[in-house]
Amino acid sequence: MSALNGLYQDVYQAITTHKTIIIIPHQRPDGDCLGSAIGLKDIIQTSFPDKHVYAIGEETGYLKFLGSLDVIEDEVFKDACVIAVDTANQERMADPRYTLGKTLIKIDHHINIDSYGDIEIVDTSSPAAAQMIMDFYTANQPHLSMSPSGAQALFTGILTDTGRFKYDGVSERTFLAVAALYQNGLDPKPVYAALEVMSEALIRFKGYVLLNYQKTEHGVAYIKITKALCDEFNVSTEEASSLVNELSHFEDAPIWVLFNEYEDEKVVRARIRSKGPNISITANAFNGGGHAKASGANLGTWDVADQLLTALNEVASTYKSEEK
Ligand SMILES: [Mn+2]
């Protein structure tokens, strides 16, 4: 049982009182935001066949197996209940029309840097937004059901955001959520198969990352990926970013960072990961945020990337001296 059951019941009430429900994940989608959006759509549609339910936003190649997103006109938002999933701040929402609905709901597990919504559920103890969707499902039994494809989408969200059940926040609750997905017909094999596949271009690029990473004095492993490098290897910036955890294996580097360059937006972004020190505070100082051990930051230029490395090198140094 989640301590937030009352709020999840409020979400259920909001759904019952709206004819149209629109679910919005975040920009530059990942498995958790799309799995949560498509899984929640499935729960609502399966439980309320008469309602109009849409999941909108951006698709991405490796997650196409979850199903396609909906494309809707502005009018559809009129009197709709809009549910944002896995989206900490409003600017990051995958569709700017979220304000056009009648009711706005936030369901998210990131640190609450931007409070929004008529109903706001933020649970930083949940390792995946998809696990929160399962809390919503459980809190409203026996009124909600789902199909096997909805179970598959939610499993994908939990699996990807927990790094295959390895990250902080994974608990008994996570496995109970997965057990409930199995009760609803989950077949995990297509999920593992889809997530396993890498393009040959990306496999070669992984080779580049493993041969060219660097380390700071106190143990921040990093790789800087320019747009030109992505072009040379014929991989997208998002694909390149997915390799961040290739730098997780060093015994002497508790922090690792993948930098990349978004040419169209003229910004350098960092994906920062940790297996010890809290790096979200540093990420916040660099126009970013997220979780204690997995954060992102928007840096602007490569000069700022070096400043971030200097700051993280300090964090690693302090951490190592405390460990001794
Ligand atoms: Mn997430």
Q: Give the model confidence (pLDDT) of 266-295 as tens digits.
A: 689 999 999 999 999 999 999 998 889 999
Counting residues of the chain whose pLDDT is more than 70, the rounded percentage is 98
Q: What separation in angstroms does the CA of 142 have from each of 59, 130, 131?
A: 32, 19, 18
Q: Is the pLDDT of residue 130 over 90?
A: yes
Mean pLDDT of 73-95: 97
Question: How many angstroms is it from 79 CA to the middle of ligand 1?
Answer: 27
pLDDT on residue 271: 97
In the reported structure, the alpha carbon of residue 128 is separated from the centroid of ligand 1 by a whole-number distance in angstroms of 5
Give 291 Cα–ligand 1 centroid separation in angstroms: 10
The Cα diameter of the chain in Å comes to 61
SS percent in the chain: helix, strand, coil, step 5: 45, 20, 35
In the reported structure, the alpha carbon of residue 321 is separated from the centroid of ligand 1 by a whole-number distance in angstroms of 32
Retrieve residue 315's tokens: 């964090």
Length of the chain: 324
DSSP structural state of residue 104: E
The average pLDDT across 150-168 equals 96
Contact (CB, 8 A) for 71 and 87: no
**From the CA of 294, how far away is ligand 1's center (Å)?**
10
Measured in Å, residue 137 CA sits from the centre of ligand 1 at 17
Q: Domains in the chain, please, with CATH?
A: 5-195 (3.90.1640.10), 200-323 (3.10.310.30)
pLDDT at 262: 85
Average the pLDDT over 42-61 and give the result. 96
Distance 275 CA to ligand 1 centre (A): 18
